[in-house]
Amino acid sequence: MARHAFKVLFIAALLAASPVLAAHVTRPAHKAAVAPHAKALRLVPALPRPGAALILENDRGKAWDVLYPPGLPTGMHRHPSDFVGVELAEAYLKVTTPDGNSRANAIKRGTMYMLPKGLTHEEEGVIGHPQRNTILIELKDSPQHDYPNRSKAPTGFIYPGAKQVADNPRVTLWDASWKPNAATPAFFQSRDMFIVPIDGGTLKVSSPDEPTQSYPLAAGQVVFLKGGHARMIQSSEGSVRAAVVELK
């Protein structure tokens, strides 16, 4: 019921042109209204489609690396699940809603957000501007799960300077940056999480009950970390900026 109520409130907010949950004042151009008559439209699949590559899938979600070539419309589509987006490039996007209205908005690199199941629109990169590149994570419907903390580390993602972008019944979104070789606090990862790099480098993930892992990261990749472990996340190379998606 909480998830359904959240969805209704979110869609109402979109219809009222309220701001989406985004990391910047510039909103992503795809906060189009959900059309009540969408079933009567000629729809194409939201994903997969040309320009979209599936890069990771598990029982919590599907991560796609999606390109929007200027001048090539996606076709009118309806998103079948709640989804998280992370913008990897500055771009300009035209969005057409089912009522035929269109508008074009600037896309700001590093914007991150979550939008609801049922969102219906057509998107098209604007000719004369750079190609849009977005990581989309389609969230699967799985039971909410918090792993019990039996460690001495504090519960939940922690990193100095990390900015909480959104917190709702599906996800908590963080905009986090790691300086190379900087000391980082330990935390207990009580939820599964995706890490979506914006500025690449190498992240080292250490845990008292798992082998240390190094993840060379570049834009267009996604890392999944299963919850239930105390962890420290550090940059061993480069200044890494990433979206951290804690799944509820």
Q: What's the pLDDT at 244?
A: 98
Q: How far is CA 95 from CA 63, 76, 103, in A?
A: 22, 10, 6
Q: What's the pLDDT at 154?
A: 96
Residue 54's closest CA among 62, 46, 45? 62
| pLDDT, tens digit, 9 for 90 and up, residues 99-158 | 999 999 999 999 999 999 999 999 999 999 999 999 999 999 988 789 999 999 999 998
| CATH, residue 171 | 2.60.120.10
| pLDDT, tens digit, 9 for 90 and up, residues 214-234 | 999 998 999 999 999 999 999
Per-residue pLDDT, averaged over 182-191, amounts to 94
Residues 62, 123, single domain; the answer is yes
Q: How is residue 129 written in tokens? A: 């501007």
Expressed as residue numbers, the domain containing 21 is: 2-139
Q: How far is 218 from 202, CA to CA, in rounded Å?
A: 9
Q: What's the pLDDT at 41?
A: 80
pLDDT of 191 above 70:
yes
Residues 99, 178, single domain; the answer is no
Residues 127, 208, single domain; the answer is no
